[in-house]
Amino acid sequence: MANDSENLLKKVIAHAKEYGFIFPSSEIYDGLSAVYDYGQNGVELKNNIKEYWWKFMTQMHDNIVGIDAAIFMHPTTWKASGHVDAFNDPMVDNKDSKKRYRADVLVEDAIGKMEEKIEKEIDKAAKRFGDAFNKEQFVQTNARVLEYQKKIDEANARLKEAMNKNDMAAMKQLIVDLEINDPISGTKNWTDVRQFNLMFSTEMGSVADDANKIYLRPETAQGIFVNFLNVQKTGRMKIPFGIAQIGKAFRNEIVARQFIFRMREFEQMEMQFFVKPGTEMEWYEKWKQKRMKWHQTLGLGENNYRFHDHLNLAHYANAACDIQFNFPMGFKELEGIHSRTDFDLKSHEKFSGKKLQYFDSESNQSYVPFVVETSVGLDRMFLSVLATSYKEEKIAGAEGEAGSERVVLSIPPALAPYKIAVLPLVKKDGLSEKAEEVMNLLKHDFRCYYEDKDTIGRRYRRMDAIGTPYCITIDHQTLQDNSVTIRERDTMRQERISITAVREKIQKLVSITELLKKVS
Ligand code: GAP
């Protein structure tokens, strides 16, 4: 991660804590690694993201309904889904630092370093040759670049083979051959590489033997698969139809870092779309476009999103891609879109002995539907919004503003924790009472923040820092003509309008309904 990006992430983390968005879990005990709590402002932002997703999925699509399945499921679920046998990451420990790493990530980082070396050679040559520099020719002929590229290709091929064949000895040999050092101890004193299952387990009931072992779900999707027929029959759903769900998932990530990007307890917003076999690629393409549009409508910048196709498909998929977002640490997965075939339903049929088929009254046939899945991490969505909204600005000379710089969160207004701050200019002369009247007028429609301490400039700063899109100031003129000033967060522009016009002016600008209209 480049220095600027590292700094940005650090600043976002500090800001999130200082302004009640995200706290480390159980902080008074020094926190719990890769687990976080959402504070008073964080929970509002999170709920607004959920509402935007839920309404888009279930309200805007009359063939999608929601469920809320339990986190605990029958343990055979995870045998059928393949998680017990195959939801593994290869891990390796450094014997000196006692730190644990994902072996594939160590190799990928080493490959990344070789790629950086090639970039450096290219930069050096570009400077040396100036306008005459031909990058393509240089890359194809320079001995050092060719040597690095050969090593990169070999390492990639060996990594892929080791992962595919589940060959952990080959993985260890690759770490040795690439001469990878532990970033902490600096030594090459590695243990063997072992597969590590990412599911958390616990015991149900009072007898602590293996028969009672159950898992905390590592994805919400299986709660949808096992309820497929319940929903289809009771909802009289006709294929194609979808089931949506928002809920917690748990993974014992080996390398849990980068704040809320990779957590051990996180939330997913998943939708399984059940289709007729043979039509899945058509629906896969449709859902790719729909989901991209949903993201881009938020206004965080269209160039911050891109598709990334999976080259190594999971055993259950016949097509898969990520929607990546330009996070402070670079483009990374935000959402997965997977064509999961009929793998899950068929496997649950096999393990449960129950039929999970759909009767198609048009063709008079029963079949196991194919599934197209969309799965977005709620916490990653949160990070994408927070990090992109965080801005440090110079504001010298702006009227009524405090200081010469500000930190502002330009959160999309529909997602902001508070939509309006109601601020009496001073506490006396009946302005507080008037402000309370304004609060009472607006609070049924908007989440409003009331604040009467400090100078107005300082109060604007605090509202900027939590991303409140509108500040309404009540001054002495308000008592005379019922007008207020309304200040817009991003432009800091102020305008005087009648109290009765506030609601109508703001409603459209801050409503999720308007966002939803734009997506469709
Ligand atoms: N049901 C499919 C599934 O779970 P996934 O790609 O493993 O697919 C889907 O996860 C999404 O969940 C990811 O795109 C990411 O946004 C989020 N996610 C996965 N692991 C996560 C973690 N450890 N912390 C935060 N979010 C995570």
Atom 2 of ligand 1, nearest CA residue: 375
Q: What pLDDT does 404 receive?
A: 84
Q: Are 22 and 36 in contact (CB under 8 A)?
A: yes
Q: Kindly state if the Cβ of 251 falls inside 6 Å of ligand 1.
A: yes
Identify which of 413, 414, 322 has the alpha carbon closest to the alpha carbon of residue 376.
322
CA distance 478 to 281: 60
* CA geometry: angle 37, 43, 46, nearest 5 deg: 110
Minimum-distance ligand 1 atom for the alpha carbon of 264: 23
Q: What pLDDT does 505 receive?
A: 92
Distance 250 CA to ligand 1 centre (A): 10
Q: Kindly state if the Cβ of 263 falls inside 6 Å of ligand 1.
A: yes
Is a pLDDT exceeding 80 seen at residue 397?
no
Distance 146 CA to ligand 1 centre (A): 36
Q: What pLDDT does 80 receive?
A: 97
As a whole number, mean pLDDT of residues 331-349 equals 97
Give me the domains of the chain, ranges plus CATH numbers: 1-73+198-394 (3.30.930.10), 88-196 (3.30.40.230), 400-519 (3.40.50.800)
Q: What pLDDT does 314 receive?
A: 80
CA distance 241 to 257: 37
Is a pLDDT exceeding 90 seen at residue 6?
no
Distance 247 CA to ligand 1 centre (A): 12
Q: Kindly state if the Cβ of 220 falls inside 6 Å of ligand 1.
A: no
Cα dihedral across residues 275, 276, 277, 278: positive or negative: negative
Q: What pLDDT does 312 receive?
A: 72
Q: Kindly state if the Cβ of 342 falls inside 6 Å of ligand 1.
A: no
Distance 121 CA to ligand 1 centre (A): 36
For residue 88, give every residue at least 6 positions away whose Cβ sits within 8 Å of its Cβ, in sequence order, or none: 195, 196, 197, 198
Three-state secondary structure string covering 323-336 = EEEEECCEEEEEEE
Q: What pLDDT does 93 receive?
A: 95
Task: Calculate what percentage of the chain has a pLDDT beyond 70.
Answer: 98
Q: What pLDDT does 29 receive?
A: 96
Distance 376 CA to ligand 1 centre (A): 7
Atom 21 of ligand 1, nearest CA residue: 262
Minimum-distance ligand 1 atom for the alpha carbon of 262: 24
Identify which of 32, 11, 494 has the alpha carbon closest to the alpha carbon of residue 263.
32
Considering only residues 342 and 313, tell me which one the structure prediction assigns the higher pLDDT: 342
As a whole number, mean pLDDT of residues 208-225 equals 88
Q: What pLDDT does 210 receive?
A: 60
Q: Kindly state if the Cβ of 448 falls inside 6 Å of ligand 1.
A: no
Is a pLDDT exceeding 90 seen at residue 310?
no
DSSP state of 261: G
Highest mean pLDDT among 109-123, 149-163, 364-378: 364-378
Token look-up 């590695």 returns: 190
Distance 96 CA to ligand 1 centre (A): 32
Q: Are 269 and 53 in contact (CB under 8 A)?
A: yes
DSSP state of 262: S
As a whole number, mean pLDDT of residues 44-70 equals 98
* pLDDT tens per residue, range 468-507: 999 999 999 999 999 999 999 999 999 999 999 999 999 9
Minimum-distance ligand 1 atom for the alpha carbon of 253: 23
Identify which of 342, 375, 373, 374 has the alpha carbon closest to the alpha carbon of residue 249.
375
Q: What pLDDT does 511 receive?
A: 95
Select from 225, 226, 266 the residue to mutate for testing ligand 1; criterion: most ligand atoms less than 8 Å from CB: 266
Give the CA distances from residue 28 to residues 32, 260, 319, in Å, rounded to whole numbers and listed in that order: 10, 19, 45
As a whole number, mean pLDDT of residues 124-141 equals 93
* pLDDT tens per residue, range 254-293: 877 789 999 999 999 999 999 999 999 999 999 999 999 9
Considering only residues 399 and 415, tell me which one the structure prediction assigns the higher pLDDT: 415
Distance 449 CA to ligand 1 centre (A): 34
As a whole number, mean pLDDT of residues 130-148 equals 93
* pLDDT tens per residue, range 158-212: 998 998 888 999 999 999 999 999 999 999 999 999 999 999 999 988 765 666 8
Q: Are 259 and 387 in contact (CB under 8 A)?
A: no
Instruction: Reply yes or no: is the peptide bond before residue 240 cis, omega within 30 of 0.
Output: yes
Q: Kindly state if the Cβ of 376 falls inside 6 Å of ligand 1.
A: yes
Identify which of 502, 372, 389 has the alpha carbon closest to the alpha carbon of residue 48.
389
Q: Are 381 and 336 in contact (CB under 8 A)?
A: no
